[in-house]
Chain A
Amino acid sequence: MKWVLVAAMVVATVLGDLLQSHEMKQAGEQSVSARGFARLLHVIAQRRLLILGIACNAVSFFSFMALVQTEPLSFAVPASSASFVLETLLAKFVLHEKLGARRTAGALAVLAGVVLVGG
């Protein structure tokens, strides 16, 4: 059951992040001041794919809540880094960002780490 929750969390996170990254780059630079957050909320309201991205984050969030109810935090959080490996692949093949050999090696190390943490 814990791996079902991890899978739900990872897929929802990956989809949500891709949509957010794509939409936020088009929206331009944002800040974290009080006015910055207000402007950020305005940007969110205008972009439908961004709202879908946030909905994915909600699914991921609920999966995480269920996971930490029964599993230790020291498993749940590192297990969620599996999304990073998947996102790095999608950043390359969907967003067409450049990934060097060291980045790829790093992503593989994270993947190996996730396997060990879950074992």
Chain B
Amino acid sequence: MTNPSQRSAALLKTYSVLLFFLALKAAGNSAMAWGMKQVPERMSINPALYLHAMLNPFVAMGVVALILALLTRMALFSLADLSFVLPVTAIGYVIAVFLGKVFLHETVTHQRWLGTLLIFAGAVLVGSTSRNTTASRVGSA
């Protein structure tokens, strides 16, 4: 069994890693989208095209940030359940639409905003009912 202070420390750790992941993902997605639209060659099944596209500095920045985000999320998987991690990180989809509109000057229709709000609402709903069963599993082992 874990006491309340240990439990809140574990929760703080989980949410700190989560925030770090969301920041990396937002920065990486934006840099990637900005950079890829500057790459003249259209991507296909050929992997060499993707590696060549990474020579673009914004694409390269996006790749680095998103790889760090991937490693951070793997650490998050060790702290919490898949069915907790996936809904809460879905908030990142809403952040991406916001960044797309503000920084990449994309047109976001009312329908797209509605869809994004539904994704956000669904994520919050799922997140509010989730428990860190990984911690309780370790505690009871």
Q: Does A52 contact B (CB under 8 A)?
A: no
> Is the Cβ of B78 less than 8 Å from the Cβ of A24?
yes
Check A73/B33 contact, CB under 8 A, given A80-B93, A97-B82: yes
Measured between beta carbons, the chain B residues less than 8 angstroms from A114 are: 115, 119
Contact among A64, A98, A110 for B119, CB-based, below 8 A? A110
> Is the Cβ of A69 less than 8 Å from the Cβ of B39?
yes
Binary contact readout A37-74 vs B (1 if CB under 8 angstroms, 0 otherwise): 10010000000000000100100011011101110111
Contact among B44, B59, B119 for A78, CB-based, below 8 A? B119
Check A68/B123 contact, CB under 8 A, given A29-B79, A30-B75: no
Contact among A74, A98, A105 for B96, CB-based, below 8 A? A74
Q: In the complex, A106→B117 CA distance in Å?
A: 12
Check A68/B32 contact, CB under 8 A, given A107-B126, A114-B119: yes
Q: In the complex, A36→B78 CA distance in Å?
A: 12
> Is the Cβ of B82 less than 8 Å from the Cβ of A109?
no
Measured between beta carbons, the chain B residues less than 8 angstroms from A75 are: 112
Measured CB to CB, the residues of A under 8 A from B are 17-18, 20-21, 24-25, 27-32, 36-37, 40, 54, 57, 61-62, 64-66, 68-70, 72-78, 80-81, 84, 87-88, 91-92, 95, 97-100, 102-103, 105-119
